Amino acid sequence: MSERLFIFDTTLRDGEQVPGCQLNTVEKIQVAKQLESLGVDVIEAGFPISSPGDFNSVIEISKAVTWPTICALTRAVQKDIDVAVDSLKYAKRKRIHTGIGTSDSHIKYKFNSNREEIIERAVAAVKYARKYVDDVEFYAEDAGRTDNEYLARVVEAVVKAGATVVNIPDTTGYCLPQEYYEKIKYLKEHVDGIDNAIISTHCHNDLGMATANTLNGVLAGARQVEVTINGIGERAGNTSLEEIAMILKCHKYLNIDTNINTTKIYPVSRLVSSLMNMPVQPNKAVVGRNAFAHSSGIHQDGVLKNVKTYEIMDPKDVGLDENSIVLTARSGRAALKYRLSVLGVNVDDEDKVDNIYQAFLRLADQKKEVTDDDILMLAGADRTASHSIKLDYLQVTTGKGVRSVASIGLDISNQKFEAAATGNGPVDAAIKALKKIIMKQMTLKEFTIQAISKGSDDVGKVHMQVEYDGSLYYGFGANTDIVTASVEAYIDCINKFRIRE
Ligand code: KIV
Ligand code: ZN
């Protein structure tokens, strides 16, 4: 009989904390529903005290989702727990995730406290949360750098106080795989009552060891893993859900099963990448564009003779179905709608479907094949519908040995504005022209053009950071014309800082 491993997805909490990855509530619901059909056991839906947006998202996700437990994060503080309880009122299954730092540096510098007081605060938080919900998870922040003896005392105290799950985060991604294995084993062997709770892993990837550490935690006895889609998360990210799910599928002899329907992995990965404007690195395990691409002659020859020569996973097992990816100018509205639904975007409003379809036809005229990424981008494109500043037109003259010239037209709250400028390249000229209309002290801090994947007619994606009035704003633009995509990304930033004014 195989053992069951619970999958706790924190894409919408630890993942969404990443600057530039913020989603609105509608987008979070879209992701949550896909996580449900993927088969995750727990969705960490947010940190409700942190903002009204997070509070509202936990409410709406709780209403939208049926099977997974909905979890809300708190500090070991009564007010946080009160707000979390309130946000979970519609959840069919609910969990509070409370905790405190336990490493010496957290205790001394973050809390100016001592070990005994930290145990008291941890126990008080768990007891308080248990008054409202039956399922309380405790996290010992920076457990990776907490000495095992003290960590065991904390864990024993919180389990006695009623914690149903104990989370052992390697918050800084510091642990070596063997060290993390020993940590979990130590807790299994030294904590009285540990069998009354589930041990959970929560590993960060600062040194590229998140997946190895998580797997070792499981081998040492952890029965819940905290993961994110595409491994997104603070700094170098969290453990990737898809990597853990596929490791366990490929290594069946480990006898550890999850509830994950692995054929949904690829569509969910694309959806999260597209909504969060977070490209997946091409060589990313399981979901990267090159994960199943054999380019060397020796490999191709082997794969043609027998696919098992070089492939340990069937691409279909992760939902990669080559035949279904390509849409062309001849594809109908229904095909587009179906493809969107496979990718997790259910558009019920027929006018909206029409808008997306018209944009799809325009794009299909410009390029032969419209990919999943393209149509996800088109479906998200009407996020700009509420923008008060829109790009009306852009014309650029550029070339070798001449100074670039740009003329730009903007629509600002239904009023038309025009300007022209020269610059050191087409993007520079276009942004200088834009700045003649939007006369603000703003500075471009980061400018990333996502690699063109399929050909010279592909949609180029631009991510930008612009500093204005002491804050950084993130913008995104996508277009087959990379200069237009750049200007759209800049305008996306400006629309955001206008919202805050
Ligand atoms: O990395 C971490 O320690 C966390 C906790 C808040 C669970 O994300
Ligand atoms: Zn974390």
Q: pLDDT tens for residues 222-243? A: 999 999 999 999 899 999 999 9
Three-point CA angle 403, 408, 409, nearest 5°: 170
* Ligand 1 atom with least separation from CA of 167: 7
Q: What's the confidence (pLDDT) of residue 330?
A: 80
Query: Taking the alpha carbons of 238, 462, 425, 455 in that order, is the dihedral positive or negative?
Result: positive
pLDDT in tens, 75-97: 999 999 999 999 999 999 999 99
Taking alpha carbons only, the member of 30, 7, 129 closest to residue 73 is 129
Is the pLDDT at 169 greater than 90, yes or no? yes
Domain ranges of the chain: 7-275, 292-322, 324-382, 387-500
Distance 249 CA to ligand 1 centre (A): 27
- For the purposes of burial, counting CB atoms within 10 Å of the CB of 102, is it exposed (0-12), middle (13-18) or buried (19 or more)? buried
H/E run at residue 155:
helix 148-161
pLDDT digits (tens, 9 = 90+) for 240-290: 999 999 999 999 999 999 999 999 999 999 999 988 888 898 899 999 988
Q: Which fold has domain 7-275?
A: TIM Barrel (3.20.20)
Greater confidence (357 vs 307) lies with 357
What does DSSP assign to residue 41? S
Q: Is 90 exceeded by the pLDDT of residue 483?
A: yes
Could you report the per-residue pLDDT of 183-212, keeping only the tens digit for each?
999 999 999 999 999 999 999 999 999 999
Which ligand neighbours the alpha carbon of 234 most closely?
2
Judged against a pLDDT cut of 60, whether residue 361 lies above it is answered with yes
In angstroms, rounded to a whole number, what is the distance separating the alpha carbons of residues 84 and 381?
33
> Could you give the strand order of the β-sheet that contains 471-479, starting from the edge strand earlier in sequence?
442-450, 460-468, 471-479
The percentage of residues in the chain with a pLDDT greater than 90, rounded to a whole number, is 66
Tell which one of 16, 105, 139 to mutate to probe ligand 1, the residue whose CB is within 8 A of the most ligand atoms.
Answer: 139
With a cut of 60, say whether residue 327 has pLDDT above it: yes
Indicate the SS3 state at residue 43. strand
DSSP 231: G
DSSP 447-480: EEEEPP-S-TTSPEEEEEEEEETTEEEEEEEEES
H or E element in which residue 200 lies: strand 198-203
Q: How far, in Å, from the CA of 17 to the mean position of ligand 1?
A: 11
Q: In whole numbers, what is the pLDDT of the chain averaged over residues?
A: 90
Three-state DSSP state, 119: helix
Q: What are the pLDDT digits (tens) for 384-420?
A: 667 889 999 999 999 988 999 999 999 999 999 999 9
More confident residue, 302 or 158: 158
Write the Ramachandran bin of 259: left for phi over 0, alpha for psi from -120 to 50, otherwise beta.
Answer: alpha
**pLDDT for residue 501:** 46
User: b vs e for 460-488, b when ≥16 Cβ sit within 10 Å of the residue's Cβ?
Assistant: bbbbbbbbbeeeebbbbbbbbebbbbbbb
Q: Rounded to a whole number, what is the distance in angstroms from the first to the last CA of the chain?
A: 60
Contact criterion met (CB below 8 Å) for 72 and 48: yes
d(CA 334, ligand 1 centre) in Å = 43
pLDDT, residue 331, reads 81
* CA 61 to centroid of ligand 1, rounded, Å: 21
pLDDT of residue 500: 47
Instruction: Give me Rg for the CA atoms of the chain.
Output: 25
**Best CATH choice for the domain 387-500 from the list 3.30.930.10, 3.90.180.10, 3.30.1370.60, 3.30.160.270:** 3.30.160.270
The more confidently predicted of residues 293 and 179 is 179
Test site for ligand 1: of 9, 167, 202, 213, most ligand atoms within 8 A of the Cβ: 202
